[in-house]
Structure formats: C-alpha cells, structure tokens
Amino acid sequence: MKRRSFVAMLAAPGAAGPGWAERLGVMCQLGSTEAGARKVIEAAAQAGFRRVQVNFAWDGVDEGFLKGLPGWLSAAGLKCEALGAYVNCLAPGVNLMRTREQDFMRAMEVAPAAGARILVAWTGSHLPDLMKADARNPGRTSEDAIVRFIERHLKGLERARLKLALETYITLACPDAVSLRRLLDRLPELVGAVLDPPNLTPVARYGERDEVMKEMVRTLGERVAVAHLKDFRLRADGQSYDLPGPLGGVMNYPLYLKLVRGLKGDVPVVAEHIGPAEFAETRRRLMAM
C-alpha cells in the first residue's frame, strides 16, 4: 500500500461516530504480571468501559504476557484503542518510562494482535525523570532528534497500519501546542498528537488555561490522535502541577468535553490518572456531563 493511501485510510472519519457511552475509555495501567493485569482489565469492564488505552512495564514483561494480552482484553469485552509504548523519542537510550527502543519495535507487533490502531510515545527528554525540566529539551535540536527517531520507524508503523500519537509535558521536548505542531508539520500524517491540556499548558499561562485549551485544540486540530482526560492544579511552588484524575482539579471540564466532542473522526478519549477503584465513579461523573 502506498503511503498516501495508507494515511488517507487512517485519517478518514467514519460516516457516523460512536456515541459518548461507547467512545469514553480509560487508561489501564497493567503492571508486569498476568494476575495484576487481568484485575485491572476486569475492573474497567465492570465499570462499564468498552474502550481502553493499555500501558505496562515493557522492560518487565515476558513473551507470555504479550501473547496473552489480546485474549485477556477479548474475554473482558474490551477494545484496545491505543497501546502505550512510551519510548523516549528524543533520546531512546534514556529509559524515561520503562520502554526502550527495542520495546517500541515489539509494540508494533503486539498492537495489531491486541486490536490497537495507535501507539503512544513521549516526545522525550535528555533526562530519565519525566517531571524534571532540562534546558536542552526545548528547541530545534531536540525536534531534529525526534524526527530522526520516528523516520527510522515509519516503515514499521506503516506495515502494522498504526498511527503514532506523541505525548508531551511541560518539562519535555515540544512542551506546548505550538512547538508540538511545528514538529508534526515535519512528519507524515500517521504521526499525531495526544491532546492533554495539563501537559500542554505552560505554567506562565496557568491563569489563562481556558484560552490556552482552546488555542491548543485549534493549533493541533486534525493532528489530534488521542484525547486524554485528567486534571491539574498549580502546586504551592508555582513551578509545577499536581495531576489528579478527571474532575479532581481546576480544569474547565464542560469546555474541554465540548472541544473533545467537536474533534473530527473517531478520536479515542481516555480517562487517566485513576486507579481501578475509581473507574466506575469517574465514568459515572463523565457520562453525566
């Protein structure tokens, strides 16, 4: 299949998208054992979710875990929309969240078997600490490194018919919507963005967070591949954020959900930063909005 045809297939919205009840999904953090993973998966199903993003410790699981995952999801009646493969695209030799480059390559094989159409990865950092800023992270040099990494893996993504969704944070490379869009404009359309207002709101503009949210949706536009639902509040130090689950902070959720519902195509919507015990109540509250 030619790249242009493949990209068009990925980008084309369905004739009629699913309803909110079906579309609303949850992040399942599976850990590294079958027993723990199956408990989380079952909790998501019991809470009423039908779609999930799955993430786990890639450097801590064996082949049995990877081969078993599709069956565990199927048995619970869950559709895996996106698979976390959180490699550090900027510096793949720096293990940012238990995912190495070889794990990212394994993810391209695992995702189709699990039914996932999207891989999610970090833009990246020079440091192994997600929450710690580094002056080298922003800027063209880091963007060049990310482009080189992704270009190495474009053929693999195409073969697996996958999109790649890049997630960032205020401490990482491309820490806001403008810089993330600049990066995406250098890459084919099968590479998109994770829409996540807490991750993309500069601390200096925290007081303008509603306007920043609207700007990021306009800026990222058709390149949004996944929408994450969590919340945030400024810490007492005035330099960083607490990141609770949805409706646990100060974010304007009626505005955000309106913007998310207005995205073109069947963009996965994933509630995160909640544990299994919170799945049902979080879903109930979001469904009521």
Mean pLDDT, the chain, integer: 94
Overall number of domains in the chain: 1
Confidence (pLDDT) at 15: 34
Confidence (pLDDT) at 14: 37
Statement: residue 156 has pLDDT above 60: yes
100 falls in which pLDDT band (50, 70, 90)? very high
List, in sequence order, every residue forming a beta bridge with 119; answer none if it has no partner. 83, 164
Statement: residue 5 has pLDDT above 90: no
CA distance 10 to 51: 18
Q: Does some domain include residue 112?
A: yes
Statement: residue 7 has pLDDT above 60: no
Q: Does some domain include residue 16?
A: no
Mean pLDDT of 70-79: 98
Q: Does some domain include residue 239?
A: yes
Q: Does some domain include residue 204?
A: yes
Q: What is the pTM of this model?
A: 0.92
How far is CA 258 from each of CA 52, 66, 148, 214, 274, rounded to the nearest angstrom? 21, 36, 36, 10, 22
Q: Does some domain include residue 70?
A: yes
Per-residue model confidence as pLDDT tens digits over 132-151: 999 999 999 999 999 999 99
Q: Does some domain include residue 15?
A: no
Beta-strand relationship, 269-271 and 224-229? parallel
Give residue 207's domain range. Answer: 3-8+22-287
Q: Does some domain include residue 14?
A: no
Amino acid at 73: L
Per-residue model confidence as pLDDT tens digits over 19-54: 899 999 999 999 999 999 999 999 999 999 999 999
Confidence (pLDDT) at 262: 95
Per-residue model confidence as pLDDT tens digits over 157-194: 999 999 999 999 999 999 999 999 999 999 999 999 99
- Residue among 156, 59, 48 nearest 112 (CA): 156
CA distance 155 to 166: 17
Q: Does some domain include residue 17?
A: no
Confidence (pLDDT) at 8: 45
- CATH for 74: 3.20.20.150
**Look-up of token digits 């997630």:** 167
Confidence (pLDDT) at 41: 99
18 falls in which pLDDT band (50, 70, 90)? confident
